[in-house]
């Protein structure tokens, strides 16, 4: 059942499902919506001793064995896409590049994508379509007026992209994503299946129908 549910993609309307990142970008462009991206990690069992790829599952952020997936939501926090899982040592920006986000935004419709500091650098590669928190121009001894301005800009950006955290929070409520004790090879199907089911529930709630 897992592969079948994973292939369904994310439901955004009763008759619209998004299965690929390219379809998500086209949907955002056609509807004029803002997208929000972020990475999320799921803890997994540590690979057996002696395996050559044992260290690649260690997260640089949380220092634990995990896999990572990139999540895309709309401005309301509704799930639009959840990528296949990658080992957690893969950085957020590298994962986005592997998924082809830069090419899709550079060649596709004019879409605004909000992201956190882990994706800084994509803005320049996509013509400003990926919006990240402002860089600090002063590393030390910065003027007081600059600190105030930078803090206002940072908070304004954070308040716009907080919805993706809510979407990820709903996704991680699924018990199988709290911590996975099974085979790591199944994680892509599991997280994409959960995302598809959650998005179907969100779409049904938004349309006022019961499932």
Convert the pLDDT of each residue in 72-102 to its tens digit: 999 999 999 999 999 999 999 999 999 999 9
**What's the sign of the alpha-carbon dihedral 44, 190, 197, 23?**
positive
Give all domains of the chain, ordered by start, each with its CATH number: 2-201 (3.30.420)
pLDDT of residue 210: 52
The 10 Å Cβ neighbour count of residue 176 is: 16
Does the pTM surpass 0.95? The reply is no
Three-class secondary structure of residue 106 per DSSP: helix
Helix or strand (DSSP H, E) at 157: helix 144-172
**206 neighbors 78 (Cβ within 8 angstroms):** yes
∠ at Cα 80 (76, 86), nearest 5°? 120
Convert the pLDDT of each residue in 53-76 to its tens digit: 788 888 887 788 899 999 999 999
pLDDT of residue 37: 97
**69 neighbors 84 (Cβ within 8 angstroms):** yes
The 10 Å Cβ neighbour count of residue 36 is: 26
Would the pLDDT of 33 be above 80?
A: yes
């Amino acid at each position: 059942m897992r592969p079948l549910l994973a292939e369904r993609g994310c439901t955004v309307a009763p008759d619209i499902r998004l299965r690929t990142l390219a379809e998500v970008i086209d949907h955002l462009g056609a509807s004029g919506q803002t997208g929000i991206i972020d990475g999320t990690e799921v803890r997994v069992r540590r690979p057996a001793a002696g395996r050559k790829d044992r260290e690649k599952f260690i997260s640089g952020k949380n220092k634990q064995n995990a896999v990572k997936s990139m999540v895309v939501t709309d401005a309301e926090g509704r799930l639009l896409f959840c990528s296949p899982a990658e080992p957690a040592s893969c950085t957020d920006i590298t994962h986005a590049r592997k998924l082809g986000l830069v090419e899709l935004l550079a060649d596709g419709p004019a879409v605004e994508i909000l992201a956190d500091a882990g994706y800084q650098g994509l803005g320049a590669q996509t013509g400003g379509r990926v919006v990240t928190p402002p860089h600090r121009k002063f590393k030390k001894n910065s003027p007081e007026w600059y600190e105030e301005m930078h803090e206002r800009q940072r908070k304004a950006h954070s308040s716009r992209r907080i919805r993706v955290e809510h979407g990820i929070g709903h996704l991680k409520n699924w018990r199988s994503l709290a911590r996975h004790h099974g085979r790591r090879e199944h994680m892509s199907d599991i997280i994409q299946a959960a995302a598809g089911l959650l998005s179907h529930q969100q779409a049904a709630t938004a349309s006022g129908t019961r499932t």
